[in-house]
Amino acid sequence: MEGLLWAIATFWLTLLMLGMILWRYRLSLAPATPMERDPAEATSEWPLVSVLVPARNEEHRVLREAIGSLLRQDYPRLEVIVVNDRSTDRTLEILREMARSDSRLRVIDGEEPPPGWRGKPFALQQALEQAKGEWILAVDADVIAHPAAVRTALVLARERALDAVSLLPKFEYVSFWDRVVEPQALNLLRLGMLIAAWREKKRGAGSSEGARRWRSFHPLALLSAYVGDSGFTIGAFTLMRREALRDIGGYAAIRGEVLDETILGMRLKQCGYRVFAVEGASLVRTPARVTLAEIWEAYSRSICSAVGRRWLAALIGGSVILLLAVFPPLVLIGALMEIVRVGSPPTPIAIPAAIAYVAMAGLSFRLSEADRLTPLSAGLAFLGYAIFAAIAFAVPWRLWSGAGVMWRGRCVYGVGEDVSG
């Protein structure tokens, strides 16, 4: 057992050292400087941007603040199209009330997705069919944008000749469970973004005029298709050339995908388009999920995409998580209790267990700095990993039992679905 614990400690120490060494390569996109001229006078210089927002059961989140932040953008040519994705609360009523006070906001009462379509891609496709912009910006309904967010993203796209740009938001933790679980879901992805920033720096890509306007900060990544690759998209905030989106077939290209935001970037890259994601904590922010039930539901979607009905995959994946992240703290707790009970010196296995625990907590704390994670929450990282293991074990049971995997009152994986992974 001691040898196993030393191997686990080495694993976490390696990740921690990797994060510390690559920390100086972290990147963050800062708000562009204010426009020197009146936006009305510079209208001809800016293409029309159509902002597409799918909204489902957002009444009790930050819907008013999020849509309001889009309408307060300093970008001179903007239209905002929000699709009510079959909400069962007051989402549609709130949107229509806001639309009456601003002509740039259009509200579509969305239809139920047809066979083969997921809810969010179909909602975005309905909005796309009404959009007139040369650029398409897909934004989640719980994302609050800085007034310069749209303009800054478009400037970056132009300077780098990009076809799609994603900004990775700052997560605002408000409850015990989101502080414990959410950071652990992002740690490996954040490391991947640090590796991507290091690779780009080594290639000299940071010498452009646009790069000089970036300021140093760590990358906040949600989901990367490849570790160490910044060419991916996320659902929170993705700006795309309409031509590129049209060439892949619009949102029909991801109509059946639960992880639609990731697959969209992959489809664009497969067609030769340039895609780039960058940490945008100073430009976009979103409240984290509050309750354990919401967190469980959200990550069941992601884990189901990888595990599906395969009991063996779920068992192996969940067990590996427990072994790496939960086993060392339990050993350490047991050793400490023994010390307190009989007053004996620590056993040999307590040392690697303590190293593994401290390295795991240190990694979580370091990578979550932009989210202002506290040392106490970082120290409880093993509870977050335990939740992921439990979800992995539960997903096949829910599918085989017919209960399905739910998301905001809609079954996203269930009987008859292709969930082979």
Q: Is 74 left (phi over 0), alpha (psi -120 to 50) or beta?
A: alpha
The DSSP letter of residue 163 is: S
Q: Do 50 and 13 share a structural domain?
A: no
Q: Is the pLDDT of residue 213 over 50?
A: no
Q: Is the pLDDT of residue 118 over 50?
A: yes
Q: Is the pLDDT of residue 406 over 70?
A: yes
Q: What is the pLDDT of residue 211?
A: 39
User: What are phi and psi for residue 190, nearest 5 degrees?
Assistant: -65, -40
Helix axes 381-401, 176-202, angle to 10 degrees: 100
Tokens representing residue 85 in the block: 């994705």
Q: What is the pLDDT of residues 132-166, one digit of tens each?
A: 999 999 999 999 999 999 999 999 999 999 999 99
210 part of a folded domain: yes
**Residues 6+ away with beta carbon under 8 Å from 400:** 309
The span from the CA of 258 to the CA of 191, in Å, is 24
421 part of a folded domain: no
Give the range among 6-20, 235-249, 253-267 with minimum mean pLDDT: 253-267
Q: Is 290 left (phi over 0), alpha (psi -120 to 50) or beta?
A: alpha
Q: Do 154 and 225 share a structural domain?
A: yes
Q: Do 14 and 85 share a structural domain?
A: no
Q: Is the pLDDT of residue 417 over 80?
A: no
Q: Do 151 and 29 share a structural domain?
A: yes
348 falls in which pLDDT band (50, 70, 90)?
confident
Cα distances from 202 to residues 194, 197, 199, in angstroms, run 12, 9, 5
206 falls in which pLDDT band (50, 70, 90)?
very low
Q: Is the pLDDT of residue 261 over 80?
A: no
Q: What is the mean pLDDT of the chain?
A: 85
Q: Do 135 and 261 share a structural domain?
A: yes
105 part of a folded domain: yes
**Domain boundary residue, one of 256, 274, 290:** 290
Q: Do 329 and 238 share a structural domain?
A: no
Q: What is the pLDDT of residue 362?
A: 95
Q: Is the pLDDT of residue 66 over 90?
A: yes
Do residues 234 and 168 make contact, with C-beta atoms less than 8 angstroms apart?
yes
Which one has a higher pLDDT value, 186 or 232? 186
Q: Do 136 and 17 share a structural domain?
A: no
How many independent structural domains does the chain possess? Answer: 2
Which domain, by its residues, includes 145? 23-290
Mean pLDDT throughout 243-270? Answer: 88
Do residues 47 and 133 make contact, with C-beta atoms less than 8 angstroms apart?
yes
Q: Is 278 left (phi over 0), alpha (psi -120 to 50) or beta?
A: beta
- DSSP, residue by residue, 287-313: EPP-SHHHHHHHHHHHHHHHHTT-HHH
Q: Do 226 and 366 share a structural domain?
A: no
Q: With residue 217 as reference, give the H or E element that holds it.
A: none
Q: Is 129 left (phi over 0), alpha (psi -120 to 50) or beta?
A: alpha
Residue 314 burial (C-beta neighbours within 10 Å; 0-12, 13-18, 19+): buried
Which one has a higher pLDDT value, 117 or 230? 117
**Domain boundary residue, one of 257, 290, 323:** 290
Tokens representing residue 70 in the block: 């889009």
Q: Quote the percentage of the chain above a pLDDT of 90.
A: 54
Q: Do 193 and 160 share a structural domain?
A: yes
285 falls in which pLDDT band (50, 70, 90)?
very high
418 part of a folded domain: no
Residue 268 burial (C-beta neighbours within 10 Å; 0-12, 13-18, 19+): buried
Which one has a higher pLDDT value, 169 or 325? 325
302 part of a folded domain: yes
Q: Do 316 and 217 share a structural domain?
A: no
Q: Quote the percentage of the chain above a pLDDT of 70.
A: 89
Give the dihedral sign, CA 269/301/380/291.
Answer: positive
Q: What is the pLDDT of residue 218?
A: 30
Q: Do 260 and 193 share a structural domain?
A: yes
Give the dihedral sign, CA 125/129/134/139.
Answer: negative
The span from the CA of 214 to the CA of 28, in Å, is 6
Classify 40 as helix, strand or coil. Answer: coil
Mean pLDDT throughout 35-53? Answer: 77
40 falls in which pLDDT band (50, 70, 90)?
low
Q: What is the pLDDT of residue 144?
A: 97
Q: Is the pLDDT of residue 48 over 90?
A: yes
Q: Do 146 and 283 share a structural domain?
A: yes
Q: What is the pLDDT of residue 212?
A: 36
165 part of a folded domain: yes
Please tell me the number of Cα atoms within 13 Å of 160 on its side-chain side: 25
Count other Cβ atoms within 10 Å, centred on residue 368.
Answer: 25
Helix axes 327-342, 350-367, angle to 10 degrees: 130
171 falls in which pLDDT band (50, 70, 90)?
confident
- CATH number for 126: 3.90.550.10
58 part of a folded domain: yes
71 part of a folded domain: yes
Q: Is the pLDDT of residue 105 over 70?
A: yes
Q: How far apart are the first and last CA of the chain?
A: 33
| Pairing outcome for strands 135-139 and 49-55 | parallel
**Domain boundary residue, one of 290, 315, 344:** 290
